[in-house]
Chains A and B, each alone.
Chain A
Amino acid sequence: MVFRSEEMCLAQLFLQSGSEYDCISELGELGLVEFRDLNPSVSSFQRRFVSEIKRCEEMERILGFLLREIQKAKIAVPQEDESPLAPPPRQVLEIMEQLQRLEMELSEVAKNKDKLQRNLLELTEYTHMLKITRSFIHSRSRHEALGPQYEEFPTMETDSATGSTGMQRLGAKLGFISGLIQRVKVEAFERMLWRVCKGYTILSYTEVDESLADLDTGEINKSVVFLISFWGDQIGHKVQKICDCYHCHLYPHPENDEERADVLDSLRTRIQDLNNVLHRTDDYLRQVLQKAAESAYAWVVQVKKMKAIYHILNLCSFDVTNKCLIAEVWCPVSDLANLRGALEKGSRKGDATVPSFVNRIPSSDTPPTLLRSNKFTTGFQSIVEAYGVGDYREVSPAPYTIITFPFLFAVMFGDLGHGMIMSLFALWMVLTEKNQKKKRSSNEIWMTFFHGRYIILMMGLFSIYTGLIYNDCFSKSLNIFGSGWSVKAMFTNQQWTNKTVQTNALLTLDPNVSRVFSGPYPFGIDPIWNLAVNRLSFLNSYKMKMSVIVGVIHMSFGVVLSVFNHFVYLLFLPELLFLICLFGYLVFMILYKWLAFSAHNSSQAPSILIHFINMFVMQGKDVTPLYPGQTGLQVFLLLIAVMCVPVLLLGKPLYLYWQQRGGKGLRRRRVINISCTVLQFDFADVLMHQAIHTIEYCLGCVSNTASYLRLWALSLAHAQLSEVLWAMVMRLGFKITTKVGVVFLVPVFGLFATLTVSILLVMEGLSAFLHALRLHWVEFQNKFYHGTGVKFLPFDFSQLPSVFEQDGLL
């Protein structure tokens, strides 16, 4: 981890034409530098490499279509660990050709399949129609056999004009039209027929059992087979028109049973053939997609890299001779050697005669901030950067955050059992991190937890430590070393008798009686406090004082760090003196009271708060002093603190004024500061800024110290919630002491576990995380950190997002 951001330099790359593609490809693989846009006024359509980018986008479109088809066919795309390099321009045409061929093939196969399926549907409908109308005719003839006898129908002839079969009877033609119609339209159809043809038609219909897919829309709905018999030609035309209007599928009605049987047979064979062909088409399609899926991943990565390279090439400008490209990059000074190496490698791969080289140039712009981090420190770095990226060469609070953040969290969370569960969860995430990275889940909340796995691990480990100190494990204390308090001693010293115990509800253990209190517990809080009724009075006092002590130390550390950031570094001295003289003295009084007073004179121990207030009001005559000379010392400290205020207010403006006038600077700092480079020194402006800073600092000291009391508040809340959960949930499981009690204990424990995780771990954990974060961002960082910088974003292929991954296709 680093103390401050790295030194950066602006460099010019001279890329010879012919090898510029390979050089940029090398730089992209290494991720060393950030490119600047040298053509900001040119629109994206007028840049040099627009046609290449268009070609890349066309390839991306085809790849998108391909991936969607592969996903529809449920084929998995194998992903390699090593990503392929960007292809050289000659290979690009090959890839383009392959993709275009694939696209054509796929669309043709899809079209054929569509046609075949349509055909299949038509034949299926025809089959249904034939079967059902057979039952009409036969049922009708059976019906007629019971009633009066009609003469036999003469053979039916197919009328070529209307396409409907008809027969001669009684001098008029009887025509038949048969087909299928959607079920929802049947009633309207029937009514229309009746109205138009005025009873010269007979319509019989039955619903088809299986629901068929509609030919055009692909929806599955019920159809009805109908058979219309009508008299006369005119009626025939009208019926035809009505059928067209209602989008019926008409099929020719067979003349007699033999013809019907023949047609049914031929239909059956044709349907079988069609099914075969469809199967084969499916298989072929799957084969094609499988083969394409093998190289799909490589293509996607290659196209992505190519497109990125052309984008970067668009940012460069051509030099006077028009033979080489110039690129301006921000590069860390320590990486210049790597940069040269990458350019050499790229030049060798390309076919330019002259190698590309790099030239460092001076710049007055503020460089971006780079802080290197590994997988452990990235989490802490990101929570600092969420507040603001540091200025160039500013002290970074991130390395200290690795320890102070989990510590402050643990002070608020402090439970041994919960800490262990949290650490185990984080440990599981850390140990399986390779698998999780491969899985690349799309659940955002899970990803947030996963990225913070090292933070959670540290928080859990520190919580175990503070849990041991608070002696709190699922709201119960652990008696590891043996309590320092002895109840028996109260009896042996004749303080208590059996009668005392029987007649009093509450009894106080007196530490002044011999052998009642045998010394403090070696590590943490004595477990006997868990049984005491005045537990909270003791713990509150302890935790509040501890919070103030931790707060003052944290803030002093922040002020000390500002030494490295301040322009006039001596200004940190009045800030530190102000803080230490007032609140450092408060810490001293707390520690003194803890050490100087013991059990025998604890009733005379004064209130620290009253002494502190008296110090400010300068009244201290009535109360007995804590130690001899207290009034004198307090006045002295107050004077120093008050004197620090004008020094803080006027120090920096006066110093800058004196410097402007030509005075010697107190050891020039290399920190680039805006007010230093501005030649026009505005005294009033600087004075006003400094006044705001002084007021903010002095008032902030008081409010920030009080703000640290949230450490006490949250730890109290956590302890109380934990106790309530045990008392109201877990205790129910123990109520029944016979073996039947197990029937209650098992589900009660399950409920206790679930509530512990959801309320105490998740909710309280998030709450403590948030408050620890706030303490860092506001109370600690406003002492020294500005956080108004720009982050260094290197050109790195692995950082570029993939469009397909976002769509969930890969």
Chain B
Amino acid sequence: MPSLLFCGPKMAACGMVISIWGVIMLAMLGIFFSANSAVLIEDVPFTEDDIRADTQPPQRIYALYRQVGINCFIAAAVYVAVGAISLCQVRLNKRQEYMVT
């Protein structure tokens, strides 16, 4: 079975750090988008049409908020996977280092 190791110890550590940060930050962003936070209004890609042609304002904006929030949660899940892969790489690197010395 060929070696599953494809990145060095430093790259794996970077991967771990970015994954943990990504999970926490994207999860919180997801929560804040789902709570329709006003501060994040600039990040929601609404158009003039969404404001003017809305039958029940602000439901369309809220729907956009929810969609972006779900995207954030999915991205957080992807980073969990990336974190797991990085953890594997870190462990494999440690084992290789242990065997050499």
* Chain A contacts to B: CB under 8 angstroms: 76, 421, 474, 476-477, 479, 527, 530-531, 727, 730-731, 733-739, 741-742, 745-746, 749-750, 753-754
The reply to whether B78 and A746 form a contact with Cβ atoms under 8 Å apart is yes
* Nearest Cβ on chain A to B93's Cβ, whole angstroms: 16
The reply to whether A737 and B75 form a contact with Cβ atoms under 8 Å apart is no
> Considering the chains assembled together, what is the distance between the CA atoms of A596 and B45 in angstroms?
44
The reply to whether B71 and A737 form a contact with Cβ atoms under 8 Å apart is yes
The reply to whether A749 and B26 form a contact with Cβ atoms under 8 Å apart is yes
* Nearest Cβ on chain A to B83's Cβ, whole angstroms: 12
Which parts of B24-78 form the interface with A (CB within 8 Å)? 25-26, 37-45, 64, 67-68, 70-72, 74-75, 78
* Nearest Cβ on chain B to A428's Cβ, whole angstroms: 10
Question: Known: A76-B101, A479-B39, A750-B22. Contact between A735 and B45, CB under 8 A?
Answer: yes
> Considering the chains assembled together, what is the distance between the CA atoms of A479 and B78 in angstroms?
28
The reply to whether A731 and B67 form a contact with Cβ atoms under 8 Å apart is no
Partner of A745, one of B39, B45, B72: B72
B18 within 8 A of A: yes
> Considering the chains assembled together, what is the distance between the CA atoms of A476 and B37 in angstroms?
11
By a CB distance below 8 angstroms, the chain B residues around A736 are: 45
Q: Main secondary structure on chain A at its contact with chain B?
A: helix
- 9 A-B pairs (CB sep. < 8 Å): A421-B21, A734-B68, A735-B45, A737-B67, A739-B74, A746-B79, A749-B22, A749-B25, A749-B79
The reply to whether B71 and A745 form a contact with Cβ atoms under 8 Å apart is yes
> Considering the chains assembled together, what is the distance between the CA atoms of A742 and B82 in angstroms?
14
By a CB distance below 8 angstroms, the chain A residues around B75 are: 733, 742, 745-746, 749
By a CB distance below 8 angstroms, the chain A residues around B67 are: 737-738
Q: Which B residue sits closest to A750, measured CB to CB? A: B18
* Chain B contacts to A: CB under 8 angstroms: 18, 21-22, 25-26, 37-45, 64, 67-68, 70-72, 74-75, 78-79, 101
The 10 closest A-B pairs by CB, nearest first: A737-B67, A745-B75, A742-B74, A741-B71, A734-B43, A746-B78, A753-B18, A735-B45, A746-B75, A742-B75
Residue with the highest number of chain A CB atoms closer than 10 Å, among B25, B41, B71:
B71
List 13 other contacts, CB 8 Å, given A741-B68, A745-B71: A474-B25, A476-B39, A476-B40, A527-B39, A530-B39, A531-B41, A730-B43, A731-B42, A734-B71, A737-B71, A738-B67, A739-B74, A741-B71
By a CB distance below 8 angstroms, the chain A residues around B44 are: 734
* Nearest Cβ on chain A to B15's Cβ, whole angstroms: 10
Q: Main secondary structure on chain B at its contact with chain A?
A: helix
Q: Which A residue sits closest to B75, measured CB to CB? A: A745
The reply to whether A731 and B71 form a contact with Cβ atoms under 8 Å apart is no
By a CB distance below 8 angstroms, the chain B residues around A527 are: 39
> Considering the chains assembled together, what is the distance between the CA atoms of A742 and B79 in angstroms?
11
Q: Which A residue sits closest to B40, measured CB to CB? A: A476
> Considering the chains assembled together, what is the distance between the CA atoms of A739 and B68 in angstroms?
9
> Considering the chains assembled together, what is the distance between the CA atoms of A738 and B26 in angstroms?
17
Q: Which B residue sits closest to A528, measured CB to CB? A: B38
The reply to whether B43 and A477 form a contact with Cβ atoms under 8 Å apart is no
Q: Which B residue sits closest to A731, measured CB to CB? A: B43
* Nearest Cβ on chain A to B14's Cβ, whole angstroms: 9
By a CB distance below 8 angstroms, the chain A residues around B26 are: 745, 749
* Nearest Cβ on chain B to A633's Cβ, whole angstroms: 45
The reply to whether B101 and A737 form a contact with Cβ atoms under 8 Å apart is no
By a CB distance below 8 angstroms, the chain B residues around A731 are: 42-43
> Considering the chains assembled together, what is the distance between the CA atoms of A738 and B70 in angstroms?
9
Q: Which A residue sits closest to B20, measured CB to CB? A: A424
> Considering the chains assembled together, what is the distance between the CA atoms of A479 and B39 in angstroms?
9
> Considering the chains assembled together, what is the distance between the CA atoms of A474 and B25 in angstroms?
10
